Copies of this chain bind each other. A is one copy, B any other.
Amino acid sequence: MKVLHHEATALGTSLLMQRDTPREHAELQARVLVDAELKGHPSHGLQRLPRLLTRIDRGLADPRATGSSRWRSDAVLEIDGGRGLGPVVAMNALHLLGQRVTSSGIALAAIHNSNHLGMLAWYVEQVAALGHIGIALSTSEALVHPHGGTRAMLGTNPLAIAVPTAARPLVLDLATSTVSMGKVHHHARNGRPLPEGWARDADGHPTTDAERAKSGSIAPFGGAKGYGIGMAIELLVAALAGSALAPEIRGTLDAEAVCNKGDVLMVISAASAPHIAQQLADYLDAVRASPAAEQDCPVRVPGDGAAERRAHSLHNGFDISPSLWAELQALTRSAPASPASPASPSTHQGQQQ
């Protein structure tokens, strides 16, 4: 079924507000989830909301927290997220970095003790919209085996980079695994085999059985090089944020544990001459116009696909499984979750996406 973005954002906002989430925090969290749906990445979309609500109910996520921050040095911000919602803590961090970067030129936030950020593209896009370069790194539960190994030892450790240009910014957002564990689950639900090379089972043997892969591990992307980048992110984030390493990480995929992964956000002034921004845009257009390997499959640059899907879904709505939509509707509470939570019944109005 199709859902319009403002309906989905309003429902998500309402569900969060009914659980003691301030309106501003609820809207932000809902928008980040819906933005992933619009970009065609439902694994980072509304299917994560029921678990997040349970985490709030159990005190594993504090929807009022914005995190407490301290400048470790002039341009490095240390943030204890206070179990806050990932987008709330991260956007607060970006706000502080954005103020600092006008004098420092580069600034970094190292975040621990916050919940899942969702798609990292969201954050670097906000940075690029202000004319800066944005970089975001996160760690996660051990799901990826080393190149040449068979046991899950690394997180899917995503990386996002946005570079502003005179036209649309370049937006890169990728996990350092061949696929997401969400995609493996999707294949399992649909009884479809996995392509060879994607996964190993719990005993470390290569498997194309999606059901067996769920308890096993995923391959890093790009062989030794992709493994190396995932490993560098693993260490960089832990070294800077003091967060856990993959085998000890919990709380981004469950509703049982406090989230102990880490995030690193960087903002860099692209203070160069304006003609450079034009050169970057012209270069990306030249890449897009360069000869394609397959007819009818023009060359793309990172972020093109997501931007096109988002533009289309903004007007036409996005696909969502009827059962997930019904599950979300059923989570609506008729009364506030607690006396301290004055959830307004008037939140079902359209939100600007």
Contact = CB atoms under 8 A, between A and B. Distances in A.
B272 A239 contact: yes
Interface stretch (A33-41, A185-193, A263-271): A263-271
A273 B241 CA distance: 11
Contacts of A291: 149-151, 204
Given A245-B283, A290-B149, A76 B231 contact: no
Contacts of A204: 291, 293
Interface string A169-181: 0101010100000
Interface string A207-240: 0000000000000011101111101101110111
**Residue of A101, A228, A286, A298 most packed against chain B (CB within 10 A):** A228
Contacts of A353: none
Given A290-B151, A292-B150, A226 B231 contact: no
Contacts of A280: 235, 238-239, 245
Interface in A279-299: 279-280, 283-284, 286-287, 290-294, 297-299
Interface stretch (A102-110, A251-259, A336-344): A102-110
Contacts of A105: 72-76, 108
Nearest to A205: B293
A292 B146 CA distance: 9
A262 to B, nearest CB: 11
Interface string A100-131: 01111111100000000000000000000000
A73 B172 contact: no
A142 to B, nearest CB: 10
A74 B71 CA distance: 15
A177 to B, nearest CB: 10
A195 interface: no
Interface residues of A, number: 77
B242 A161 contact: no
A312 interface: no
A227 to B, nearest CB: 8
10 contacts: A73-B105, A76-B104, A76-B106, A105-B108, A106-B107, A146-B287, A150-B291, A154-B287, A222-B226, A238-B283
Given A73-B102, A74-B74, A176-B225, 10 more contacts: A76-B269, A76-B271, A108-B268, A149-B287, A151-B291, A163-B239, A170-B232, A172-B228, A228-B302, A245-B283
